[in-house]
Amino acid sequence: MDFPSYTPDDTAVPEGVVVLERASTPQDLGPKLNRTAADVVRFLMQQGEMVTATQSLNDDMIELFAADVGAEIRLVDPGEEQEVELLKMLEVGLLDDDEDDDDAPLRPPVITVMGHVDHGKTTLLDRIRSANVVAGEAGGITQHIGAYQTVRNDRLLTFIDTPGHEAFTAMRARGADATDIVILVVAADDGVMPQTIEALDHARAADVPIVVAVNKIDRDNADPTRVLQQLSERGLVPEAWGGDTIVVEVSALQDLGIDDLLDNLLVVADLEDLRAAPDGRSRGVVLESHLDVGRGPVATVLVQRGTLKVGDPLVAGASWGRVRALIDYQGNQVKEAGPSTPVEVLGLSDVAQAGDDFIVAPDERKASKVAETREHWQRVASHGRDAHAMSGGARLEDIFSQIQAGEAANLNLVVKADVNGSLEALTESLKKLERPEVKLSFVLRGVGGISQGDIELAAASNATIIGFNVRPDRNARELALAEGVEIRSYEIIYKALEDIENAIIGMLAPEYEEVVTGDAEVREIFRVPRIGAIAGCYVTNGVITRGSKVRFLREGTIIWKGDITSLKRFKDDAREVAAGYECGIGLSDFQDLKPGDIIETFEEREIPRT
């Protein structure tokens, strides 16, 4: 076939930086670069890309053409330019840190804990949470809503409850700066490790002050001096050695040095002079968001300015609504939340994304208008991003052989996760695995269980499905088997990354497939005195066996994992119950099942590699 030839015309290079929207079509792109749509199409044909004049182009294609024209461009997400207009409609400016009023009252510092895996981030967060819950609530139930507050010397401190730099970086990638101070946890026995350095780099890039917590000083082989030495080499010179880095020795496990750490955080907060006006329309950032079966979309937000109140009309990214209820981290309903307070917000139309700004709108109509406009632009943008993902995907196992054959491998992924925060964190970290010979494309990123639709999409685009804390239902599982779609489920982000990294270097470990042995649907919950709750179930598939491993699923999301300890047919103990029969499953450890939940039993089997 003969293509009309394209000869670049270098007489007309556009001046200055041309702002181009991602996912532009040749029709939009051509004229902006002093060319016609046909020029763009012809040029791309020469590069082996067949596109039509009205088809969305991916970033590479746009950049390639611009480079050929010799134009300097800046790619923006569709809607980015419009965002300024939308904020005008909400009668606010872009969120600017310098907006802080000098005479506004002080606000609590917002703190994120980072550091290498196993150095004690979670233990430290738990220790601070349990030891210093707001007075009067000691011993009360604390919820994991993504953040919590604690008191020291009558002052509040706010902690973001997702340790690690992935979430922090994902938030920053979306333009959100929620954190005022980073605690860098370094285990005294292990010293500075790769993720310590990564965390340090991220905190520095964000220009956030760092307080070092040297943890596990209770250990016999603790060597805090070595840690200080290693940190100094990285430019974090401790105060004791004449530098300006605050270093506190702690044992999260044995509750040593925690108050000292909190005191030092307050010192840094004072130096930073963190202030925010408690009045005026509130705004802030979404920390976490998910769909709750009973309550609808739930977002945990961090209030950064003003006071958020029940009844406020609100926009959060592309979702909106009137605040129906506010719930603090202790599970109490509250009427309002001031600066630096984390609260759960009920009443939004949709699941917002972690890192989205929220703003109280002048009225509901404006809130919905802004959210709808954003949603429109997000759709356009994601269409462009994924436009190219459909072609030439490879299965995880085949990646290495493709690379070896000298082909550039394209790994298409469908990523599903239980909540938005983990979805963001996972995709952000996955993106970092990209290298010249392996391109990762996200065909779909979504929150919720793995559906038949996901399998169909994965089959059509040759994608591997990565599930994080979510599972396929039976229909989806069967379809995946029939279509040969690979589903990999993880409960730890780092494991997912490890697998993909290993696939790239051809060292994919033997896969332990979790073979589902039975499914039962919960029909009713009985409370039996002294025994607790029993789920009355109907076995829909396979066999449910006492002692087998089990997962409880609600709308495809894993809500609990454990073993089946008691299984009954009517009043009698049963060893196994087959499909088509009813049974009672004892819930000793997990009492929170509801009718409609699915109980799935499984076995682990090694899949031989070919």
**Residues of the shown chain interacting with ligand GDP in the complex, contacts defined by CB under 6 A:** 115, 117-123, 163, 215-216, 218-219, 251-253
* Closest to ligand GDP by CB, 78 or 115: 115
| Bridge partners (DSSP) listed for residue 338 | none
Taking the complex as a whole, the smallest distance from the CB of residue 575 to ligand GDP amounts, in Å, to 36
* Closest to ligand GDP by CB, 248 or 550: 248
* Closest to ligand GDP by CB, 17 or 117: 117
Taking the complex as a whole, the smallest distance from the CB of residue 219 to ligand GDP amounts, in Å, to 5
* Closest to ligand GDP by CB, 107 or 202: 202
CA angle 289–292–296, rounded 5-degree value: 90
* Closest to ligand GDP by CB, 164 or 338: 164
> What distance in Å separates the CA atoms of residue 73 and residue 67, rounded to the nearest whole number?
9
- C-alpha pair distances (Å), 511 with each of 296, 440, 476, 502: 36, 21, 20, 12
Residues near 464 by beta carbon (within 8 Å), at least 6 away in sequence: 395, 396, 411, 412, 413, 414, 458, 485, 486, 487, 488
For residue 304, count CB atoms less than 10 angstroms from its CB and return exposed for 0-12, middle for 13-18, buried for 19 or more: buried
* Closest to ligand GDP by CB, 123 or 566: 123
* Closest to ligand GDP by CB, 121 or 374: 121
Taking the complex as a whole, the smallest distance from the CB of residue 160 to ligand GDP amounts, in Å, to 13
* Closest to ligand GDP by CB, 255 or 555: 255
* Closest to ligand GDP by CB, 215 or 462: 215
* Closest to ligand GDP by CB, 222 or 598: 222
Residue count of the chain: 610
* Closest to ligand GDP by CB, 121 or 551: 121
- C-alpha pair distances (Å), 282 with each of 285, 404, 565: 10, 55, 50
Tally of CB atoms within 10 A around 527: 9
DSSP 3-state of 69: helix
* Closest to ligand GDP by CB, 132 or 441: 132
Residue type, 319: S
- C-alpha pair distances (Å), 220 with each of 188, 189, 198, 223, 244: 10, 8, 27, 9, 28
For residue 365, count CB atoms less than 10 angstroms from its CB and return exposed for 0-12, middle for 13-18, buried for 19 or more: exposed
Rg (CA), the chain: 27
* Closest to ligand GDP by CB, 114 or 315: 114
Taking the complex as a whole, the smallest distance from the CB of residue 163 to ligand GDP amounts, in Å, to 5
Q: Where are the alpha helices (DSSP H) in 193-243?
A: 194-205, 224-233
* Closest to ligand GDP by CB, 200 or 380: 200
Taking the complex as a whole, the smallest distance from the CB of residue 193 to ligand GDP amounts, in Å, to 11
Phi-psi region of 318 (alpha: psi -120 to 50; beta: other; left: phi over 0): alpha
- Quote the tokens at residue 13: 């290079």
Taking the complex as a whole, the smallest distance from the CB of residue 127 to ligand GDP amounts, in Å, to 8
Taking the complex as a whole, the smallest distance from the CB of residue 340 to ligand GDP amounts, in Å, to 23
DSSP 3-state of 381: helix
Taking the complex as a whole, the smallest distance from the CB of residue 504 to ligand GDP amounts, in Å, to 25
Taking the complex as a whole, the smallest distance from the CB of residue 252 to ligand GDP amounts, in Å, to 4
Is there a contact between 471 and 491 (Cβ–Cβ < 8 Å)? no
Residue type, 515: V
* Closest to ligand GDP by CB, 253 or 525: 253
> What distance in Å separates the CA atoms of residue 195 and residue 191, rounded to the nearest whole number?
11
Taking the complex as a whole, the smallest distance from the CB of residue 325 to ligand GDP amounts, in Å, to 31
> What distance in Å separates the CA atoms of residue 211 and residue 124, rounded to the nearest whole number?
14
DSSP string covering 115-180? ESTTSSHHHHHHHHHHHSPPTT-TTS----SSEEEEEETTEEEEEES--SHHHHHHHHHTT----S
DSSP string covering 322-362? EEEEEE-TTS-EESEE-TT-EEEEEEESS---TT-EEEE-S
Q: What is the C-alpha end-to-end distance of the chain, expressed in Å?
A: 40
- C-alpha pair distances (Å), 353 with each of 52, 89, 421, 428, 453: 33, 21, 7, 13, 22
> What distance in Å separates the CA atoms of residue 545 and residue 353, rounded to the nearest whole number?
40
Taking the complex as a whole, the smallest distance from the CB of residue 189 to ligand GDP amounts, in Å, to 8
